[in-house]
Amino acid sequence: MTSPVGSLSSLSCRCKAGFFAPNNEYCTACSVGKYKDYEGSGYCSSCLDGETTLDIGNASDSNCLCMTGYFPANNVCQPCPAEYYQETLASIGLESCKPCPLYSNSSSGSQSRDSCSCLKGYEGGSSGSYCSICPEGKFKGSVGMDACQGCPEDTFNAVTESKEISDCKCEPGNYNYSLTSQCLPCNLGSYKPLLASSACTPCPPLSNTTDTKRADLSECLCNAGYTWGAVSYCEDVDECTSMAPPCVLYADCHNTVGAYYCTCKPGWEFEGSLCVDVNECQRLTAFCDYGVSTCENMFGSFNCPCVAGYEKSGEACVNTNGCLNASYVCQNHTDCFDTIGSFYCQCKAGYRESAK
């Protein structure tokens, strides 16, 4: 405070430039952002909009400098444009506004790099970069430094830089249930190979899956009795011609679509799972001519052998002409006479039986 020589009281004192006297008492320095460029009473003036001072007690408006976030242009302080920031006083021009780091932006007049926020689809602080791309399987729908969010359960996005949760599609093996917008596992008998919120595809005819949530056609397995085929996805297995005969000994195999069955050969019948011989003689199903033949059981069949004195003629038993087979038995001068089942010799006329 200065006072004219001989002043009688402090009221005669005048504040120096850069100082003012609130309530006309002691002189006080103009605060930051203000100046007073004359000696005497009066108040400090504010710097222009966008300007401030480095310290207090400024005596000239030349001490008013552009604030952080502003730069001087045509003697006026203007805010740095969006996507830039400026963190020092006394900037010298637009070039003192620095661009935000890659993948971030700011509002105009930003005062520090911290005002730069990662764009949608980018997260802050990971992998050494200021902002990093959201990797596959994650998204970020807001501007800011927070981390990318993972896709919801059973969903995935196959793109980077995702900004929308809607990029998350149902993973293979899952489909989008329209009522709840949730991904649900494909039902038994269906599959879905795509990363998409689409429906599951039914397995081809005659095939099925062993579990839900299947992603590939190859998990549609042919039903029992069918096998993967050249014409249709699943075709009948001909079990009868397969490497291992499916029927027991003495049985015939019959193929059907999707199955097969076995029957015992003629003359054989099932006893449990085995085919055993039918005893046609015991069963009285063998129609032998019992006057001239008997019944003889055989494996898988039977026989009707002729009784003594009869012989087979085709299927029938006929009397054996004993004279044809045994003519040598009758001596000279005898005639042979055939009988049913035998023969006898008789002396020709004029001869008599000699003594034995």
Instruction: Report the alpha-carbon distance of residue 137 to residue 146 in Å, rounded.
Output: 16
Least distance from Ca ion to the Cβ atom of residue 255, Å? 5
Instruction: Report the alpha-carbon distance of residue 123 to residue 279 in Å, rounded.
Output: 90
Scanning 128-136, 157-165, 166-174, 251-259 for contacts with Ca ion by CB under 5 A, the matching segment is 251-259
Least distance from Ca ion to the Cβ atom of residue 337, Å? 40
Binding residue (CB under 5 A) for Ca ion from 84, 236, 251, 293: 236
User: In the complex with Ca ion, which residue's Cβ is closer, 31 or 255?
Assistant: 255
Binding residue (CB under 5 A) for Ca ion from 39, 277, 289, 311: 277
Least distance from Ca ion to the Cβ atom of residue 329, Å? 38
Closest to 30 (Cα-Cα) out of 46, 44, 14, 48: 44
Least distance from Ca ion to the Cβ atom of residue 298, Å? 5
User: In the complex with Ca ion, which residue's Cβ is closer, 176 or 255?
Assistant: 255
Residues in binding contact with Ca ion, number by CB under 5 A: 6
**Are 264 and 253 within 8 A, CB to CB?**
no
Helix (H, G, I), strand (E, B) or coil at 49: coil
Residue 297 engages Ca ion in binding (rule: CB under 5 A): yes
Would you state the structure tokens that stand for residue 118, as one six-digit string?
Answer: 């990662």
Closest to 320 (Cα-Cα) out of 342, 346, 345, 298: 342
Scanning 81-89, 120-128, 192-200, 234-242 for contacts with Ca ion by CB under 5 A, the matching segment is 234-242
Residue 83 engages Ca ion in binding (rule: CB under 5 A): no
Alpha helix locations (H) across the chain? 280-283, 322-326
Q: Which residues contact 206 (CB under 8 A, 6 or more apart)?
A: 222, 223, 226, 232, 233, 234, 258
**Number of alpha carbons in the 13 Å side-chain half-sphere of residue 210:** 5
Residue 235 engages Ca ion in binding (rule: CB under 5 A): no
Least distance from Ca ion to the Cβ atom of residue 350, Å? 56
Strand partners of residue 190 = 202
User: Which residues of this protein are in contact with Ca ion, per CB under 5 A?
Assistant: 236, 255, 260, 277, 297, 302
